[in-house]
């Protein structure tokens, strides 16, 4: 019962390694904030690659609005990051399943 959570399934148009489809799914236009989002990936390395790609789609002063989140971060950092997402201070998190273990309420 989370009316603020939406799942989306779309057929990809480009090879997955390009991440082009992610731009479309997240409605990234490089100017205005996206809706809050969480993108899950299978590895730390892939999580960081996705964030680097998404950040490149925005001006430098907005790139810190998208962050990665995985088990390499401290529990304090992970909780603070979830709080920042909930408050709208950041737009999105690219994460491993570690985010599913964070304590937060939506």
- Per DSSP, the three-state class of 13 is coil
The answer to whether 91 and 33 have CB atoms below 8 angstroms apart is yes
Rounded average pLDDT over 82-102 = 85
Indicate the domain borders of the chain.
43-106
**What are the tens digits of pLDDT across the range 34-88?**
688 889 999 999 999 999 999 999 999 999 999 998 888 888 998 899 999 999 9
First-residue to last-residue Cα distance in the chain = 10
Query: Higher pLDDT residue, 49 or 30?
Result: 49
| One-character DSSP codes across 48-106 | HHHHHHHHHTS-GGGGGGEEEE-TTS-HHHHHHHHHHHHHTSSSEEEE-GGGGGS----
> Can you name the residues that pair with 94 across neighbouring β-strands?
39, 68
* φ, ψ dihedrals at 40, nearest 5°: -100, 140
Q: Rounded to an integer, what is the distance from CA 47 to the centroid of its chain?
A: 9
Say what the pTM is. Answer: 0.81
Strands 66-69 and 37-40: unpaired
């Amino acid at each position: 019962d989370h009316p603020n959570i939406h799942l989306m399934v779309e057929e990809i148009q480009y090879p997955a390694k390009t991440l082009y489809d992610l731009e479309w799914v997240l409605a990234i236009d490089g100017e205005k904030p996206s809706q809050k989002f969480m993108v899950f990936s299978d590895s730390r390395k892939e999580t960081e690659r996705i964030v680097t790609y998404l950040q490149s789609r925005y001006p430098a002063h907005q790139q810190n609005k998208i962050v990665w989140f995985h088990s390499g971060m401290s529990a304090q950092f992970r909780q603070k990051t979830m709080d920042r997402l909930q408050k709208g201070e950041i737009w999105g998190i690219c994460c491993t399943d570690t985010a599913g273990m964070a304590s937060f309420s939506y």
